[in-house]
Each structure stands twice: as C-alpha cells, then as structure tokens.
Amino acid sequence: MAWNTNLRWRLPVTCLLLQVALVVLFGVFVRYDADADAHWIDDRLSQNMSSDMDNEFYYRYPSFQDVHVMIFVGFGFLMTFLQRYGFSAVGFNFLLAAFGIQWALLMQGWFHHYDQGYIFIGVENLINADFCVGSVCVAFGAVLGKVSPIQLLIMTLFQVTLFSVNEFILLSLLEVKDAGGSMTIHTFGAYFGLTVTWILYRPNLHQSKERQSSVYHSDLFAMIGTLFLWMYWPSFNSAVSNHGDAQHRAAINTYCSLAACVLTSVALSSALHKKGKLDMVHIQNATLAGGVAVGTAAEMMLMPYGSLIVGFICGIISTLGFVYLTPFLESRLRIQDTCGIHNLHGIPGIIGGIVGAVTAACANSAVYGKEGLVHAFGFKGSWTSSTQGKFQAAGIFISLAMALVGGSIVGMILKLPFWGQPSDENCFEDAVYWEVPEDQKNTASRPEDPTLNPLEP
Amino acid sequence: MAWNTNLRWRLPVTCLLLQVALVVLFGVFVRYDADADAHWIDDRLSQNMSSDMDNEFYYRYPSFQDVHVMIFVGFGFLMTFLQRYGFSAVGFNFLLAAFGIQWALLMQGWFHHYDQGYIFIGVENLINADFCVGSVCVAFGAVLGKVSPIQLLIMTLFQVTLFSVNEFILLSLLEVKDAGGSMTIHTFGAYFGLTVTWILYRPNLHQSKERQSSVYHSDLFAMIGTLFLWMYWPSFNSAVSNHGDAQHRAAINTYCSLAACVLTSVALSSALHKKGKLDMVHIQNATLAGGVAVGTAAEMMLMPYGSLIVGFICGIISTLGFVYLTPFLESRLRIQDTCGIHNLHGIPGIIGGIVGAVTAACANSAVYGKEGLVHAFGFKGSWTSSTQGKFQAAGIFISLAMALVGGSIVGMILKLPFWGQPSDENCFEDAVYWEVPEDQKNTASRPEDPTLNPLEP
Amino acid sequence: MAWNTNLRWRLPVTCLLLQVALVVLFGVFVRYDADADAHWIDDRLSQNMSSDMDNEFYYRYPSFQDVHVMIFVGFGFLMTFLQRYGFSAVGFNFLLAAFGIQWALLMQGWFHHYDQGYIFIGVENLINADFCVGSVCVAFGAVLGKVSPIQLLIMTLFQVTLFSVNEFILLSLLEVKDAGGSMTIHTFGAYFGLTVTWILYRPNLHQSKERQSSVYHSDLFAMIGTLFLWMYWPSFNSAVSNHGDAQHRAAINTYCSLAACVLTSVALSSALHKKGKLDMVHIQNATLAGGVAVGTAAEMMLMPYGSLIVGFICGIISTLGFVYLTPFLESRLRIQDTCGIHNLHGIPGIIGGIVGAVTAACANSAVYGKEGLVHAFGFKGSWTSSTQGKFQAAGIFISLAMALVGGSIVGMILKLPFWGQPSDENCFEDAVYWEVPEDQKNTASRPEDPTLNPLEP
C-alpha cells in the first residue's frame, strides 16, 4: 500500500499533454457561434432585430456567472469541511473543473453544435460545459481525500465523455426535458462517483479516520460553499430553459423548493440527535437536496406548492440518508462516500427524475395553454404528454445504467497502482500533495502525534 | 434561569408544523403571475411585445440574485464575528430566512397581489420576500447569541406579518416611496429588534462576556458578510424601482453614498481610539450605514453629491453610535444590542426616511421633467411634491410605532420560559444548539477553563 | 527607523479632507447622464425606443456588479494570505478602493464625459471607476504590509490621476483598444507599484520575515479572492465592450484563456517542487494570469484556440516568475514585491498588450465581415489594421513610461518620514494599525516570542 505520491513528473506531464491536446482540438474545431461572431452585426441588420438586447448573451450571461460561482466556489468550498483537506478540496476542484469545461465544450459541441466540420460556441455552451463539470464535482465528493489529482483528471476525462453521451441519448434521442439536470447531472454524477469509490474501496481507511472530520473553522468555510450553491440554484435550474416564462418559472420553483428543504432538514437534524442538537453536515448538505430534486421539473408548471412539497420531502430523506444510509453503505456495501453525495445528489436526483416524469405526463393545454404546451415541450405529431412522461422515466434508468457501467470501468482504471494515490494512513491530508505552511506541516502519516490537536482551531 | 435547551422535539415540531401550513396555504393561494405562467406566450403575441426580453424576469433577476446573496451570505456572515457563534449566526439566519421568505410571499401576496382568490407571484415577489426577511435579519442582530432557533422562528412569523401590514400602510395607503426600505426594512426592523431585546433583558449577561468578542479569523469571516452587503447594496436599493432611469439612478446614488461612508467611518474609528487604531466593528458595520440611509431617496433625483453627503454623515454618526451610544443603551436603558443594529440600521434608517421626505418634497418639474415627475412619483390630481413629502415623513413615525408596539408584544411572547433559550452563562455559544467538532466542544458553561484560549485562533 | 505609527490625527484628517473635497467637486461637476436622469422618459418617447430594456443599465449592470466583487472581495481577499495581515489586506483595500472610485469618477469624467461644465455619469462610469481602482489594487500588492493607510490614500490619489491621463492618451488620442485593460490597468498598475516598492526599499525587511508567509486558514481565505477574480474575469474583460457580439466574444475568450492557465500553472508548480508538491502561491496567483493577458484582445476575433494558447503560455511564465524572478528581483534589484504582482500583472499585462497589437494588426474583413470590421474598430478614412496594430504597440510603451516616471515621483513622496509607515520589524502585522482581538494581540515587534506559533491555526 506504499504508493509513490511524488507527482513531480506525472502531474505536469498529464496536465501539459491534456492542455496541448485541447489547444489542437480547439484549433481544428471550435469557432464562435453567430451571436458571438463579428459578423453578427450583419445578421442583426438583415433579420431586423430591434435591439442589441436580442443577442443571446443578455438572456443567459447573468445565469452563467451564477452557475460558474456554484461550480468553483460552491462545490470547491462545500468540500473544505475536512480539517486538513481544504487546499485539496478547493484546489483539485479548481483543476478538474478547469480541465473539464474545456473538454466538455468539445464533447458537447460534437454532439449538439457540430456543423460542417466546426463546433460553434456561445454563452449557452459555456453554461452546459459548467453543468457537465458539475457532475464531475458531484462524483469528486464521493472520492474526496482518497485520490490523487492525476486520478481526478483521468476521471474527469472519462466522466465528461460519458456525460455527453448520456446527455445526447436523453436530450436528443429521447427528447427528454432536463434543464436543471436532475438526471443528467445529479443522478448520473452521483452513481458514477459511488461506483468509482466502491471499486476503490479501502479496507484500512480507518487509519485516516481522525482526519475525516471537521474543525470549527473548516465548517464555516464549507458554509460559504453551501450558501452560494443554495442561493444561485435558481439560476442553475433556469439557465438553459426557454426564454421568458420558462426561465422565470424555473427560478421561482427552485426558490420555493430550496426554502422548504431548509426547514425539514433542520427539523430532522434536530430530531435525530439525542440532545436535539443540529449537525453541520446536514445543514451543509441536506438543505440543498430541494434544488437537485426540482432540476427536471422546475421549468414545467410544477406550481409553487408542488415545489414546496418536493423540497419538504427531500430535506427529510436527505437528512435520514446522512444518519442511517451512509454508515450502512460503508459498513455493508463497502461504499465509502466521503461527502455523502448519495444523500444530496443520488436519491434527490432520482426523485427529481420521477417528479419530472410525472409533471410532464400530467401536462395539458388547460394548464399550459395550447400554444404554451407546444412551446414548453415542443410536442409535434403523435407525441403527447404521456409519451413524454414515459421517455422521461426511461431517462432515469439510462442515466443510472450509464453511471454504473461507466463508473465500474473508470474505477478499474483508477485502481491501477501508478497514479500517485495516497496510502490508507495518509488520506484526507493536504500535506501529501501540497506544500503546507509551517503550522500544519509534518503531520502526514503521524496522526497519533499528540501535539497536533492544540494547533487546530 | 436553568431553562431546558434540549430542542429535540420542540424544534422539529415547530419546523414541520410551519412548513406543512405553508404547503397548504401555497396550495390554496399561490399561482404564477402572467410573466411566469406558460400562457405568457399568448400574452406576448397578443400584446405585440417585440422580444422575450420584455418579460419582467430580465429586468429584475440579476438584482434579485444580488439581494439573495445579501440576505443569506451578507447578513449570515456579518454575524459570524463572535468567537464561538459562527454556526448559529450563519445557520439560524439560514433557517429564519428560509422560513421567512415563504411566509412573506403569502403575507405580501395577500396585501399586494391578491386577485380572485389567488396570489400571483413573479420575480418581484421573490425580491420583496427577501426584503421583508431582511428586516428580520436586522432584528436578529440585536438578539444574536441570546435566543433559541424556536424563538427566532416565532419572531420571524410575527415580524413578517407586522412588516407586511406596515408596508401596506406606507406603500399602498399613504403612497409613500421607499424602494430601498429605509423605513419599512431598516427603521422598522431595527426598532422592532431593539424593543424585543429590551424586553428580553438579561441582567446577568456578563457571565457570557468573554465570548461576546471576536477572534482573529471570526473577524475575517465577518468581513465576507460586510463586503457582500456593501457591494450588492446598489442592487438592493434599485431592485424594485421603476424600469429604466429609476433603477439606474438608484444604483449610482447607492454606490456614491457607500463610498463616502467608508472614508468617514475609517476617519472616526481612528480618531476615537487613543492610539489611532482602527476597530473591526466599525469597518464591518458603519461602512454600510450609507446604503441604509439612501434607501428611500436612491431612486429620486438626490444627485451624486447629495448621496455623498448622506454617506458622509452616516459614517460619522454610525461610528459615534458604536463608541458612545451602544454602551449607553446597555448600561442605562437595558438594551443589549449584540451587533449594534441601532447604529447600522436604526439611526441611518431614520435619516434615510428624512432624506427621502425632503427629497420628495423638493421634487419639481425643472429637475425631473414634466413627464418624468409623473412617472417617478405617479402624481395625479391634487397630489403634489409637498403632499408627498408630508406623507413620507408620516411613514417614519408609523414604522417606528409599529416597531415599538409589535416588538413589545413579540418580546413578551418570546419571554415565556419554554422556548429553549440559553441560560445567561451559556449565551454566545454554539455548543448549546450544535454538535460542535472536538477542538471546540465541552466549552459551554465552562468559560473559566484556562486551557481554552490557546485553542482559539 | 522608529517612525510614529499612531495615526490618530493624521488618518482622520486625511480621510475627512479628501472626502470633503470630493463632495464639493461632485457638487460642482457631477450630474446623471441621460440614461440615469429622470428626463430619460422623454428621450425614450422621442427616440422611439421599443422598450425600457434599451437603457444602458441593462447592458452593463450585471457585469458591473461582477467587477465590483472582483475589486472588493477579489483583490481584498487575495491579499489575506499573510498570517497576520488579513485585517489590513481587506480593510485597506476597502478604504483605498472606496476613495479611489470617487476620485476616478471625477478624473475619468473630466477626460471622457465632460460637457458644458458638467460630468455626466452612468453605469459605464461606475465600471470604469472600478477598473481604474483595479490598477491601484494591483500596485497595493507590491507594497502590501509595508505601508500605512495614509500612504495608500496618497498613492491612490496620484495613481488614479496618472491612470486617467494614461488612459486618455491611449484610448482617446491613439484610439487604442484595451477593453480589459491589459495595458491601462495591469501593465500600468504593476510597473507603477514595482517602482514605488523599489523606491521604498527596506534593507532590513528580513526582520519581519517570519510573518511574510501564510498559515493554513489564511491560504483558504486567499482562495476566496482568487476564485472570485477567476470566475468573474469574463465579466471584467467584457464589461465595457461594444453591445452584442463583442461583449459575448470577450466573455468566451476570457473563459477559455483562464481555463487553460489553470492547467499549466498546476503543471509548473508541481514540476518546480522537488517532491512534486503544489504551492498555494501559484494556485492563488498564476491561474489568473490568463485573464490579464487576454484583456486587450478578448473582444477581438482572437478565436477560442488563440485564447487557450495565451492562457497556456501565461500559466507557465507566471509560475516560473514566482519561482525564479521574484527572488531575483528582491536580491539583485532591491524590488520587494510582496504579492508577486510582476508575475501576475506585469509580464502578463505586457503579453496582453502584444497579443492585442498582433490581433488588431491581423484584423481583416474576411474574419470580421466588412460591416463588422468597422463596427469593431471604428476604422474610418486611411486608418487600417496595421495602423491600429502599431498604435496598440505604442500603447504598451507609453503605459510603461507613465508607470515608471509616475511611480518614481509617487515613491519619493511616500518615502517622506511622516506618513506613519511601520518600522522594518513591524511589517506584515495588523496590530500596528488595528485593534486586534486578544488571541493575536501583543505580538507586534516581538516576533521571537516562542509562545506565538501555537496560537496560529
């Protein structure tokens, strides 16, 4: 189990090779789309657009920036809760996301925006690339503390690829609606990550157990992540919806669902503690489950009370999951899920898929208006609400299947012994991969050192 | 004074009951407004709107997100300055705000958006709900560290209700302008909170005195809150103003006022310290007073130099308040104001109301243009600038009266002994209500423990 | 070297004098521009604008808020990496920026928006004022920990003035394009700051050496700054570009460049450490160099792969700079650059200027379209791409010259002994200017105290 964790040549070579490949592929394939190209002024004049405001940029850019914050600060800081893994949480998330968005622009571009040998990108592609990387950030939560940055880059490479295939099957072939990604991002990302961590099972992880907990200030840093995710989730679920009422509605539904989720998470957190005390883990995570679970249906006519009900249920289930399911998965199924992504993204993702399927199946012109129904779902020919509902449901299973199969293969690759992974007694420790300032140094693999605790705030 | 602080059944039951009631009320009353409903496409076509951009969503959503950040990260982190109360500051603020926004959607909806049995909500309602909760966050600052989460939920329930009544009287009955809420949010919120904390006076609070101060890193966390409040305040004051020039002007005025306020706060902070050193409390709080005090007048033709003058004065008064008034209020009037909200929201709120009344009274068509004057104030019939000014001034007194009466009643309710409040020696301590990680645990009610201080960063 | 650091009268007087002067100057000169004035409704009707959306506010405001966050949270927290200088980093940055934006509104107003005795301001002025202050924040990075707040205010006063002159020469006289400010903000700011710190050289700075490093949590605080800068940089580079495709393109190019920069920064950071470990300094800084270096060309048809190449190169050069150049500058050229701004803003700024000149020189109607070329560069008469390229190149040298000459003069002024600067053994220490909470107090000028380290988290 004594792997070499000196990444001096392996990490630089991996990064540089990947980045050189990206430069070449971008050079061959990627161009600006019509709204971002200098020729746009011709389009504008010829199409008689009344205003520069009709550029797609103004519909999507504010939402894009919010999503961008969620991926980099939201996910990054959410994972800083461990006492000595803050550099890696934020830093590795930064690295994998920066690589992932570039690779996603290509993969998603080939599937969705490929025309005459070129991929044409605009602000919507940037959002979708961030979304795709979101699923990698989810999976990162399961393996947090137990993998090297090289393993993360490899995982990102494969996961982005599989995400794009799955997304293509769902959105293009099955014409499933999944604007907030309950299925494509959360369900896929969570079960992919869980499968990977299951394959990478470490029987002696207890040797790092004393670092697999938080300290006072690390929990506050994690709350920065939680709150930015929570606050900007309405932008996440509405970012790529149709212009106008669909974006508007998606934001309202997500706002409602998340608010309800906070109250039930707090309720359960207190009820499940013998002295009625709240647990930061639940406040940091379960409060977000409501956002995951309205991902698919947010842009539909779910109604504000429908959103509240979804949030209500998910806050309860997610908190229960942290208390009962995560320990069970670890002890019985050998799934070591560092951040409990099964409770925050796995189950709520599936719930979100189901809610979406039911809401779509119930869509009718009384609720949407005749024009509105066509506009919202793009129904044409014999395609009806009930067909849509069935295909939505199929999307859940396909996402799960892709995640399990893909995760198994990728897990196997990551199990190879030369990726610089930490030994079981050095998990959850920044000093393995980072130059750590004095007050923290010299602590890796000396967990028993009794002088250490007083240094930790 | 030995209250039972084990909330195991009380907190969950409170949260679940409230949330169930909200679900039912939303089910009965709340629907999407025209711009968020799937029928919008019909409206758009029939009203000949030139573009999807005319959906209200695009006018308000970026401002909404900024306001949302202010409520959850801004207020939440601003209150993390105490050395052992960060979990509660961020967590309870999260809880009360998540509850409050739902309740505010209903209360404000009944008063302002009720039609044929339904409340119709859109992005402007989300902003107004956040605003309403802002006044609760203000009041929370006065009682910070001395109340249980159950008390906070009860306070939120009543305060949101009273806020909505007061807002209805001001905005609808008196046709007062108060876009940034100097009166409705800050004056009302501050004096409500001060009255509550006056009623909840704790004569033995000195037993928790050693925890009622900051440590190095808690002051930095608090600066996250300060800066997000400061930066996004232009969005706060412009979020619900009229489209176009009014939103534009409100942002400029707030930007100017806040900038001036920083310089005078720093000046006074240094001048009032015997060695000329700056005090973090002033930098964290007094620098924001300029935003409060242009809340009413920001959308009016206050002029950039007018905004600078308001900020100039408020930075001085607010800092003086922290140095002289807060100790006086505590020792003489038995008002224990943890965060000094009287200096940040109370006095500047009243100043804001006065500035608004004067600015409105001076409005004339030379400055606004004939059309502009009508557009800005909605004057019709015999209603003139001077009438407007008088009604504005009346708004200040009504807000104060509502706050004092409402705060007294709510304070009395919160004084009942079964809400799980902490004892005097356990105030300002997370461990009472939170599972706190090892390095901090076992410290509640053992303030004299000499081994504790070295652990604190 | 025992200067008096008690600022009791000097700092308040400086702040109040400056702010009074600003109030008077604003009163005489500053008015709202057409889009922010109450008369706008007349304009709108007479110009037949189809919608309130045509107000400039809606094109620029979301970008403005992102830029605002970069200046106050981004730069402020980026500089909190030092173990005992967090209050000053965030607080002094807050102070100088709040002063600087007001002064910049005037200076830039006189040069660019002066008409019939008045300066007319709108949202674009707010952005440009933030930009101007950005260059002061850059320079602050070089002198961080070694100057008093009075020195910073004086530096801001002069630097904003010189910035505005330089900007006027470049943008108005030479018609240079520099929307993201590679030359005007970064090159000018960096070499100005480096010149100042060179003049303020402290031969005995090693006496404060033990505080010129980070601790664990200070590095995490700094990552908040890094990430907000990194995430919002696309808004920075697109904030003042032409409406429509230019803003859109600038955001895409910046997104791409920054992503590539992260991978090469990580690669070099690991490759240059003997055990292959990553260094937080590089992750916090070098990852941002890609944003600096596409500042000029971002709005041009640089192409996504062009952006990746720029980011690729800058990540490498910047990291190399931190490892080899900064120590060299300090030991040989007596340039003590606390934050390494030469690597993050200096070299990448020059690269950005060159990239912009080359991209402009290569512009042709095949790439831009005939209409697009005119629209993008405003070419008229005999002005061609190659002329534009030459003037762009000239802009780099003028910015450098202004920075070196201006920095020398300002450095000389700041060297005067009565500005309250800290002694060599008290640099990088908050307690000199701040009331610091107990756990940190009494540490200034007692660096050898062995009991100190255990207190630091």
Tell me if A288 sits within 8 A of A229, measured CB to CB. yes
Q: Is B51 close to C53, i.e. CB distance below 8 A?
A: yes
Q: Which helix (H) or strand (E) holds C374?
A: helix C370-377
Give the mean model confidence (pLDDT) for residues A81-105: 97
| Residue A365 forms contact with B (CB below 8 Å) | no
Give the mean model confidence (pLDDT) for residues A232-248: 97
3-state secondary structure of A114: strand
Q: How many CB atoms lie within 10 A of CB C48?
A: 6
Q: Which of C248, C260, C275 sits opposite A19 (nearest CB)?
A: C260
**Of the ranges A97-106, A177-186, B373-382, which one carries the lowest mean pLDDT score?**
B373-382
A444: confidence class by pLDDT, cuts 50, 70, 90: very low
Cα separation, A66 vs B68, whole angstroms? 12
Is the per-residue pLDDT at C455 higher than 80? Answer: no
Is the per-residue pLDDT at A457 higher than 70? Answer: no
pLDDT for position C236: 98
pLDDT for position B48: 76
Is the per-residue pLDDT at A224 higher than 90? Answer: yes
Q: Which of C247, C266, C309 sits opposite A95 (nearest CB)?
A: C266
Place of tokens 């090289």: A150
Cα separation, C411 vs B295, whole angstroms? 41
Tell me if C32 sits within 8 A of C121, measured CB to CB. yes
Nearest 5°: CA angle at B191, between B189 and B194? 105
| Tokens standing for residue B238 | 């412009």
Q: What is the CA radius of gyration of chain B?
A: 22
What does the mean pLDDT of chain B come to?
Answer: 93
Cα separation, A217 vs C217, whole angstroms? 8
CB contacts, 8 Å: A248 with chain B:
32, 35-36, 40, 55-57, 61, 122-123
The shortest C-alpha distance from A72 to chain C (Å) reads 7
CA end-to-end span of chain C = 31
Higher pLDDT, B378 or B263: B263
Give the mean model confidence (pLDDT) for residues A54-74: 97
Is the per-residue pLDDT at C225 higher than 90? Answer: yes
A289: confidence class by pLDDT, cuts 50, 70, 90: very high
Q: What percent of chain A has pLDDT over 90?
A: 89
Q: Is A65 close to C235, i.e. CB distance below 8 A?
A: yes
- Using one digit for the tens of pLDDT, what is the confidence trace for C109-148? 999 999 999 999 999 999 999 999 999 999 999 999 999 9
The shortest C-alpha distance from C68 to chain A (Å) reads 14
- Angle between helix axes B188-199 and B385-415 (nearest 10 degrees) is 30
pLDDT for position B129: 98
CB contacts, 8 Å: B56 with chain A:
248
Chain A residue with Cα closest to B125: A252
Higher pLDDT, A456 or C401: C401
Tell me if C349 sits within 8 A of C182, measured CB to CB. yes
pLDDT for position A333: 96
Nearest Cα residue to C7 out of C419, C452, C442: C419
CA B294 from chain centre, in angstroms, equals 14
Q: Which residues in chain C (224-283) have CB-CB distances under 8 A to chain B?
A: 224
- Best of A64, A255, A274 to disrupt the B interface by mutation (most B CBs within 10 Å)? A255
Helices (H) and strands (E) in chain A, counts: 19, 5
pLDDT for position C311: 98
Q: How many CB atoms lie within 10 A of CB A32?
A: 23
Give the mean model confidence (pLDDT) for residues B81-106: 97
pLDDT for position A2: 66
Cβ density class A243-278: b for 16+ within 10 Å, e for less: bbbbbbbbbbbbbbbbbbbbbbbbbbbbbbbeebbb
| Tokens standing for residue B376 | 């800005």
Q: Is B271 close to C149, i.e. CB distance below 8 A?
A: no
Identify the burial level of C445 via C-beta atoms within 10 angstroms of its C-beta, where 0-12 means exposed, 13-18 middle and 19 or more buried.
middle
Chains that touch B (3 or more CB pairs under 8 A): A, C
What does the mean pLDDT of chain C come to?
Answer: 93
The shortest C-alpha distance from C119 to chain B (Å) reads 11
Q: Is C224 close to B224, i.e. CB distance below 8 A?
A: yes
In the 3-class helix/strand/coil scheme, how is chain B assigned residue by residue?
A: CCCCCCCCCHHHHHHHHHHHHHHHHHHHHEEECHHHCCCHHHHHHHCCCCCHHHCHHHHHHHHHHHHHHHHHHHHHHHHHHCCCCHHHHHHHHHHHHHHHHHHHHHHHHHHHCEECCEEEECHHHHHHHHHHHHHHHHHHHHHCCCCCHHHHHHHHHHHHHHHHHHHHHHHHHCCCCCCCCHHHHHHHHHHHHHHHHHHCCCCCHHHHHHHCCCCHHHHHHHHHHHHHHHHHHHHHHHCCCCCCHHHHHHHHHHHHHHHHHHHHHHHHHHHCCCCCCEEHHHHHHHHHHHHHHCCCCCCCCCCHHHHHHHHHHHHHHHHHHHHHHHHHHHHHHCCCCCCCHHHHHHHHHHHHHHHHHHHHHCCCHHHHCHHHHHHHHCCCCCCCHHHHHHHHHHHHHHHHHHHHHHHHHHHHHHHCCCCCCCCHHHCCCHHHCEECCHHHCCCCCCCCCCCCHHHCC
Q: Which of A41, A72, A122 sits opposite C371 (nearest CB)?
A: A41
| Tokens standing for residue B112 | 């302002």
Chain A to chain C Cβ contacts (< 8 Å): 248
- Using one digit for the tens of pLDDT, what is the confidence trace for B22-32? 999 999 999 99
Chain B residue with Cα closest to A261: B98
Q: What percent of chain B has pLDDT over 70?
A: 95
Cα separation, B351 vs B256, whole angstroms? 16
Q: Which residues in chain C (7-26) have CB-CB distances under 8 A to chain B?
A: 7-16, 18-20, 22-23, 26
A46: confidence class by pLDDT, cuts 50, 70, 90: confident
Q: Which helix (H) or strand (E) holds A120?
A: strand A118-121
pLDDT for position A455: 35
- Using one digit for the tens of pLDDT, what is the confidence trace for C301-329? 999 999 999 999 999 999 999 999 999 99
3-state secondary structure of C107: helix
Nearest 5°: CA angle at C220, between C217 and C225? 135
pLDDT for position A439: 64
Identify the burial level of C191 via C-beta atoms within 10 angstroms of its C-beta, where 0-12 means exposed, 13-18 middle and 19 or more buried.
buried
| Residue C427 forms contact with B (CB below 8 Å) | no
Tell me if C176 sits within 8 A of C184, measured CB to CB. no
Cα separation, A109 vs A103, whole angstroms? 10
The shortest C-alpha distance from A389 to chain C (Å) reads 36
Cα separation, B380 vs B384, whole angstroms? 8
Q: What percent of chain B has pLDDT over 90?
A: 89
Is the per-residue pLDDT at B453 higher than 70? Answer: no
Is the per-residue pLDDT at B440 higher than 50? Answer: no
Q: Which residues in chain C (32-71) have CB-CB distances under 8 A to chain A?
A: 50-51, 53-54, 58-59, 62, 66
Chain B to chain C Cβ contacts (< 8 Å): 248
- Using one digit for the tens of pLDDT, what is the confidence trace for A407-416? 999 999 999 9
Is the per-residue pLDDT at A281 higher than 50? Answer: yes
pLDDT for position B139: 98
What does the mean pLDDT of chain A come to?
Answer: 93
- Using one digit for the tens of pLDDT, what is the confidence trace for B385-396? 999 999 999 999
CB contacts, 8 Å: B276 with chain C:
6-11
pLDDT for position B321: 97
CA end-to-end span of chain B = 31
| Residue C457 forms contact with B (CB below 8 Å) | yes
Identify any residues that bridge with A279 across adjacent strands, giving them in sequence order.
Answer: B435
3-state secondary structure of C6: coil
Is the per-residue pLDDT at B378 higher than 90? Answer: no
Nearest Cα residue to C319 out of C358, C392, C362, C261: C261
What's A341's DSSP letter? Answer: H
Is the per-residue pLDDT at A384 higher than 90? Answer: no
Residue C165 makes CB contacts below 8 A (sequence gap 6+) with C111, C402
The shortest C-alpha distance from A339 to chain C (Å) reads 19
Taking the CA of residue A180 as centre, how many other CA atoms within 13 Å lie in the half-sphere pointing to its CB? 35
C453: confidence class by pLDDT, cuts 50, 70, 90: very low
CA dihedral B383, B386, B388, B391 (to 10 degrees): -120
- Using one digit for the tens of pLDDT, what is the confidence trace for B311-343? 999 999 999 999 999 999 999 999 999 999 999
Q: Which of A12, A36, A95 sits opposite C252 (nearest CB)?
A: A36
Place of tokens 């004892």: B423
Q: How many CB atoms lie within 10 A of CB B448?
A: 7
Chains that touch C (3 or more CB pairs under 8 A): A, B
Q: Is A454 close to B454, i.e. CB distance below 8 A?
A: yes
Give the mean model confidence (pLDDT) for residues B421-425: 95
Cα separation, B312 vs B332, whole angstroms? 29
Give the mean model confidence (pLDDT) for residues C21-30: 98
pLDDT for position C451: 36
CB contacts, 8 Å: B37 with chain A:
245, 249, 301, 372
The shortest C-alpha distance from A437 to chain C (Å) reads 5
What is each CA distance from B161 to B31, B123, B197, B329, in whole angstroms?
A: 20, 20, 19, 28
C439: confidence class by pLDDT, cuts 50, 70, 90: low
Q: Which residues in chain A (436-455) have CB-CB distances under 8 A to chain C?
A: 436-440, 454-455
- Best of C10, C11, C33 to disrupt the B interface by mutation (most B CBs within 10 Å)? C11
pLDDT for position B89: 97
- Best of B238, B249, B270, B374 to disrupt the C interface by mutation (most C CBs within 10 Å)? B270
Chain A residue with Cα closest to B437: A215
pLDDT for position B455: 35
Q: Is C12 close to B270, i.e. CB distance below 8 A?
A: yes
Dihedrals φ, ψ of C116, to 5°?
A: 50, 45
Tell me if C409 sits within 8 A of C154, measured CB to CB. no
Q: Which residues in chain A (298-317) have CB-CB distances under 8 A to chain B?
A: 301, 303-305, 308-309, 312
